[in-house]
Every structure is written in C-alpha cells, then in structure tokens.
Structure 1
Amino acid sequence: MRSIAMVAGETSGDLLGETLLSALRPQLPNTLMHGIGGPRMAKYDFVSNWPMEKLAVNGLFEVLAHYREIKGIRNHLRDHLLAERPDVFVGIDAPEFNLDLEVALKKKGIKTVHFVSPSVWAWRSGRIRKIAEAVSRILVLFPFEEAIYQKAGIPVTCVGHPLAEAIPMRPDMNAARDSLGLDKEKPVVAIMPGSRMSELKYNSLPFIDAAKLLLKRDPDIQFIIPMAGDEQLAYFTRLATEAHLDKLPLKLVKGQSHTAITAADAVLVASGTATLEVALFKKPMVIAYRLMRATWEIARHIVKPPVGLPNILAGEMIVPELLQNAATGKALSEALWFQLTDQANRNRLHERFVAMHYSLLRNTAQASAQAVLDVMKENG
C-alpha cells in the first residue's frame, strides 16, 4: 500500500497540512497518510499516531523539560518509517523535531519535503547546511526565501501563504462587530497573547496591564480576546480572576481569532504567525513577546530583529516590536495608543499591508500538492 508520512507540530502546522491535503487527497484517495497532525488534517483521513499537542512546546528550557518524551516519539516514528518506507515524508514546520527525522530518512533513501522555511533569515543561519542534508525539496511561503535556497543549491518551491487566500482583501468590520456583540461606534482592541500555554504564561499579564492603562485614556475602548481552545480560555480566565482583572471590559471568546481581528481598530499580538494574520487583515498592531528569563538570556544573543513577519516582509520596522523587558504594560499601552489614534500612520500601514497581501497570493494548496507529487515521482 502506498503511504505518505507527515508531521505537524502545532496549530499553524495543522493549517498548512490541511491546505496541502485539500489538494493532495483527491489525487491520492487510497493512499495511507499518517504521522502526527491535528483536527484540520484529520478531515482528510489523516491518521495521527500521536497527539499533535505533544510537540507544541515553546522555549529552550520548556522543550528540555519534555525532551525525553519528544525524543522518544521521534525515535519511535523514525524506526517505524524506516521499516515502512513511505513514498515521501513531509515535515510541516516544527524544525527542531522534523529536520533530524528528515536527515535520518533521507540517508536511507526516503524522499523528504519540508514545508515552511525555518527562520534562517532571522537566526541560526548555519542551519541551512542541515536543511541541505535533510530535504529533497523545501516549500517556502514567502518570495524572498526562494533566493536563499537557490543560492545554497537546495531545491525550492514558493507556494505562497494560504492565509493570503483565506483572508479577504476587504474584511467586513461591522459584520464582525455584530457577530461578537461589540458596539460599532466605540473603539476595539484585540489582545492576542498567543496560542501556546507557555506563551500565555509570560505574555498575559503585561498585555492586560496595557489594557488597563488604555482604559484610563479612553474608557470607551472595548477589548476582545480570542483564545485558541478550552484549556487556554480556562487558564486566562483564572489568571484574570486571581489578578482581580475580571471586572475589566475584557470579552473572551473561544476561537474566532479572525473575527476578533476583523472587528479591531488595533491589535496587541504575540510574535508569530498571528502577526501575519493581522497584517493581512490590514490592522495596525504592536508586536510583543516574553519568554522564560533563562531562555531569553540565550535567545537575545541569537535573534536578530526584526522578528515580526510584517516587518521582515516589509524590510523595515513598520510596526513596533517590544520584546522581553521592553514589553511592559506602560510601553505596550503607549505604542497601542499611537496605533489607535495616529490616522496618517494608519493610512500608511493600510497601503503597505494591501501590497503585502497581493505579494503572497498563490494557489497554495495546488502548488504544494504538485511539489509533493513531483518529489514522489522521482522515486520512479
């Protein structure tokens, strides 16, 4: 029986996997597709041999705490795939997990595709040598990434970003506010401290402190806070209650992140894929991120600003980035106030984000599926 193995490590990878499978499954209806994935991939009869959440750990020391379990999963999967010999292995993001697995598989003659470039353009540029060892082909989301891999002699296909297709060029703010029960005449700020529990742990309180300070400037501001799931919603609610913040006008919702962004006049967002979503919705934003102190002490020597995708794609700092100790409630509130109230800045950002949106439009599902099929054909 023909088979394709895939590994997605978190929600954003599950979305990319869904996009790929939406075009790949119809062409391979009887092929076993399995590995590690989430509910979006499962819609296309993908069988997840382990829960995707096992890999969704962020931060150096947080990963170390789960290292033995994660390594055990990778070793077990590696041995199983070496025995199975799938037609192709597709690693969807999760480079710390997937690249080592891909190296082991490729050495034994199994074709490998890596979907999404690791941030070789932001940190650990030496990683590109490992990518060359690991992949038969890499699929990248952003046009500027193609040249990096072409120069390194690594087969590469730019497939665009699926969010550029999913997000409308002109989002309907009024409909989103109606859906969420928000006043159309009052300003709205979306607060997005992250989808991982580790992100919520470090980002939530300074983000809420920023909301408290903004309310002192304008008591009419409405805050919408989308949470990725039940666990995150319960954690944030408990945190707000313990900090006596539950009396603030903070409206929490499960999921609905795109609706929340659409409804907003400005967004306070944790660094990651969500920053690109905010840009594609053409919303002014402040990017912030905090880590465990020990993790940050290592990361600050490696990470090269900018880290936010809108700034990376723009080639300059068009929106503020406040990291670690700089991400205080006061600093975040000041930056958000500017994004809310400076109309000239809002107009400039809208123009930049529209251009960014057009630059990322491709048929990502078809392009990624065809690239995987092409690699499979190389097996003969």
Structure 2
Amino acid sequence: MNDISLAMVAGEVSGDMLAARLMAGLHPHLPNARFTGIGGPRMIEQGLVSDVAIETLTVRGLFEIIPRYREIKGIQNRLRDRLLAEQPAAFIGADYPGFNLGLEEQLRAQGIPTVHFVSPQIWAWRGGRIKKIKRAVSHMLVIFPFEEAIYRAAGVPVTYIGHPLAEMIPLVPDVAAARALLGIAPGARVVTIMPGSRIGELKYLAEPFVAAAKLLAARDPNLVFIAPMAGERQRAYYTEIVAKAGLADVPVRLVDGDSHAAIAAADAVLVASGTATLEVALFKKPMVIAYKVMRASWEIMRHMGYQPWIGLPNILAREFVVPEYLQHAASPQALADALWRQLDDPAGNEALARRFTDMHHSLLRNSAEASAEAVLRVIGRKR
C-alpha cells in the first residue's frame, strides 16, 4: 500500500533544504515511497533520485536566464514527459516558481495533483501570478503566517506549516560554542560577510562586501572577518573576484560550509538578500542587507515591487528593523558605515534581538510533520 511514487523539484539550496524536511516527514507514513525529480544533496540524502544536478537550474535575475532558457526549458519538457508517462501520486515543487509553476500547470491539467512548497512572493511583487497559481497548484504550503489569508481569499487550498529554519536554529544561539568551533577568541569583535551561495550573487556582491571589510579593518584593525562558502566552486569564484579587485590582502577568513556557526559567532553580519537574512534574524544578529543584479534586470525589478522592503526580517516586521542597500546604493562605504553603526550600538542590538526572538516564535511549528500531513491529504492517504 505504501509503495508510492512522488515527484519533486528544487532548483536552489533553500528549496533543497525545505524539500528534504518534507521528505523526512513523509518517510514514517510512506516508508516505501519512491522520490524522483531534481534536487540537491539534502534531498538525495533523503532518497531522491535526481535527473540532473541542482546547480543546472540555478539562475538569478530576469535577463541572466535568457542565455540558458532553451537548456532549462528542455529539462522541464523532458521531466514533464517522463512524469506524464509514469503518473506519480503527486508532484511537489519546492520554491523555484519560474520552473515549477509552469510544470505544475501542465501536470495538473493531466490529472496529477500538485503541491507547491513556499509561496512566490506575490505579496512583494508580481501579484498577478495568483491566477496562474490557482490553475497550477492543488495545494499551497506557506512558511509565513500572513500568507495563509492571501491564498484562502483567492480560493487556493493552503496550509501554513511554519518555517523549517525556526526549528533548526535554537531560540538562544550558543555564541561561545560557535566561536570555539571556528577558533575565534571569546572577546573578539566579529563581522561575518555572506555575499551569497549562488555564483550570480557572488558576481555582484563579493567585491563590495570585501571592500567594505577593508574599510572596517582600517577603523579597527582588531576586527575579525569570516565568510562562509557554500562549496568549492563558490570559494574559487569568490577568490578570483577578490584577487582581480586587488582585495586579496583583506583579512577575510573563508569557512567551508558551516554558515550557521559563522552567523552565531558574529557581532554583525553583512548579508545578501534572500533566505540567509532570515537565518541571521533567527540567530538574533544585527545585519546589513544588500542586493545587486544585472543593470537591465534591476531597471525592470525596481518598478515591480509592492512594498518598500526586500529583506525577509523587514518584510515580517513590516518596517525597516535593519538597513537595506540596493543596487548602486550598496557601495563599500555605505555598507561599512552601516555595519560600524551596528557594532557601536549595544542597546539597539538588544532591542533588535528581542524583536527577532518574537519573530522566531511566530515561525516555529513542526514543519516536517505539517507539510507531510498536507501532502498525505492531497494524495488521499489522510483525511
């Protein structure tokens, strides 16, 4: 009875993490389930048989996808044809809406139930996408509490499952343990720089982030700088960019993997906009958020926003609790000045930590179990 096939696609690191937790929640209910599709190391660890490497799908920005459109569309079409032939019990798209929603629409039209995990940011921009979602998605799983009402109003079946990061990150981070793990002195002042896990992010943010570190080091030579790297490819590209910019002498220590320890050890964090900003908030750390893309992409995107914030902590707080610097405003001097103000504001940082603790509680659920139960209802294995 439990020998069932489920198809899944994640196109980025964050989607891989979310989908892997869903898979972990499904295993006790469907111990013999077969998972196929596209995913990363965490999903593969949970038993996914992946058609292609997740890195093949990872593209950032509107115009950056154009040179690779035919390749990615070909992957989507081949996967669609295989799934239509195999007829899995359901298709689960983990984020990556540009790829997954189109695939979901085609599969659902042919009778395959579809679950989309993580709402596209229709509340931030491209609100018209809700019409396509209604056609494409049998059930939406949302990770922010305010999203549930949006989908209910639109007539899309929805379940708020909490944010998996809220379970993975402790309510009270162990700063001493993180510093011991990384070999950092207990009394040091630490700045963690996180220019992104995607090559596209590193392309635009590595240089201004390291240049900001250089300016901060000139103000306080005792500052410790660390930068977690998502993998060997990211490390090599980061190193190349920094060397070409003449910044190889800036004392930024690279840490392989261990991004959570790097955040926990920090006094302040310079971070690329994205899921990492929420991780920093859950670790109760002050941060400066930056965002840069290709100029042509930016010219379109800056007119599409429905609200003044892009960073997840600010969106959840509904105000600028931490500063954001976008595109040309994300200069090394502006980033360094903003970080310096945070390093020199203990009272403000304590108040910010209290805000982030409240945010943490609001996102805390058993997400693996909640998401698994929703999928089981969709495939008729649970009432």
**Corresponding residue for residue 358 of structure 1:** 361
2:35 aligned with 1:33: yes
Equivalent residue letter for 2:45: K
Moved more, 347-356 or 175-184: 175-184
In the TM superposition, what whole-angstrom CA distance separates every residue of 1:78-118 from its partner, at most 9, and x where no partner exists?
11111111100000000000001111111111100000000
Any unmatched runs of 5+ in structure 2?
none
Distance 1:379-1:67 versus aligned 2 partners, 3 A rule: farther
**CA–CA distance in 2 between the matches of 1:23 and 1:300?**
38
Query: Please, what TM-score do these two structures have when normalized by structure 1?
Result: 0.98
What percent of counterpart residues are identical? Answer: 61
Q: Is the 8 A contact 1:310 1:318 kept in 2?
A: yes
Tell me if 1:345 matches 2:364: no
Offset of 1:336 from its aligned partner?
A: 0.6
Q: Work out whether residues 265 and 284 of structure 1, in 8 Å CA contact, stay in contact via their aligned partners in 2.
A: yes
For the residues of structure 1 that align with 2:139 and 2:148, how far apart are their CA atoms?
Answer: 12
Alignment map for 1:102-117 (pairs within 5 Å): 102-117=104-119
Determine the structure 2 residue equivalent to 1:371.
374
TM-score normalised by structure 2 residue count: 0.97
Amino acid at match of 1:8: A
Secondary structure of the residue aligned to 1:200 is: helix
1:12-31 matched pairs, under 5 angstroms? 12-31=14-33
Which amino acid letter does the alignment assign opposite residue 261 of structure 2? Answer: T
Secondary structure at the counterpart of residue 226 of structure 2: strand
Counterparts in 2 of 1:260 and 1:379: CA distance versus 1, 3 Å: closer
Per mean C-alpha deviation after superposition, the further-off stretch among 121-130 and 370-379 is 370-379
The reply on whether 1:97 has 2:102 as its aligned counterpart is no
Distance across 2 between alignment mates of 1:215 and 1:42: 41
Are residue 186 (structure 1) and residue 188 (structure 2) matched?
Answer: yes
Aligned residues: 380
Cα distance, 1:247 vs structure 2: 1.9
Task: Please say if 1:332 is aligned against 2:335.
Answer: yes
Q: 2:61 aligns with which of 59, 62, 65?
A: 59
* Counterpart position of 1:279: 281
Of the structure 1 ranges 138-147 and 169-178, higher mean CA displacement relative to structure 2 is found in 169-178
- Is the 1:87–1:379 contact (alpha carbons within 8 Å) kept by the matching residues of 2? no
Cα distance per residue 1:32-66 (max 9 Å; x no partner) = 21000111011121100111111111111111111
Q: Secondary structure at the match of 2:379?
A: helix
Contact 1:37 1:46 in 2 (8 A): yes
* Aligned residue identity for 2:159: T
Map of 1:205-244 to 2, 5 A cutoff? 205-244=207-246
Q: 1: CA distance between counterparts of 2:308 and 2:65? A: 23
What CA distance in whole angstroms lies between the structure 1 residues aligned with 2:213 and 2:286?
A: 16
Which of 198, 201, 219 is equivalent to 2:200?
A: 198
Query: How far does the alpha carbon of each residue in 1:120-168 deviate from its partner, in whole angstroms, 9 at most, with x for none?
Result: 0100011111111111100000101001101111100000001000001
Q: Which residue of 2 aligns with 1:7?
A: 9
Please tell me whether residue 140 in structure 1 is matched to residue 145 in structure 2.
no
- Report how far residue 379 of structure 1 moved: 11
Q: Look up the equivalent residue of 2:147 and give its one-letter code.
A: E
Alignment partner of 1:62: what SS?
Answer: coil
Give the CA deviation at 1:243: 2.7
**1:120 aligned partner, one-letter code:** I
CA deviation vs aligned residue, 1:253-309 (integer Å, no higher than 9, x gap): 111100000000000000000000000000000000110111111111113420100
Q: What is the alpha-carbon distance in structure 2 between the residues aligned to residue 103 and residue 243 of structure 1?
A: 45
How far 1:378 sits from its partner (Å)?
A: 7.7
Find the aligned partners of 1:242 and 1:110 in 2 and give their Cα distance.
50
Cα contact 1:225–1:251 (8 A) shared by 2: yes
CA distance, structure 1, for counterparts of residue 270 and residue 276 of structure 2: 10
Answer whether contact 1:150 1:156 (CA < 8 A) is retained.
yes
Report if aligned partners of 2:36, 2:51 keep a CA contact under 8 Å in 1. Answer: yes
CA deviation after TM superposition for structure 1 residue 180, in Å? 1.0
Question: 1:2: Cα distance to partner?
Answer: 2.5
Displacement of 1:184: 1.9
Task: Output aligned runs, 1:73-84, within 5 Å.
Answer: 73-84=75-86
Which residue in 2 is equivalent to 1:245? 247
**Structure 1: tracts of 5 or more residues without a match:** none
Counterpart in the other structure of 1:264 = 266
**Alignment RMSD:** 1.3
1:158 aligns with 2:163: no
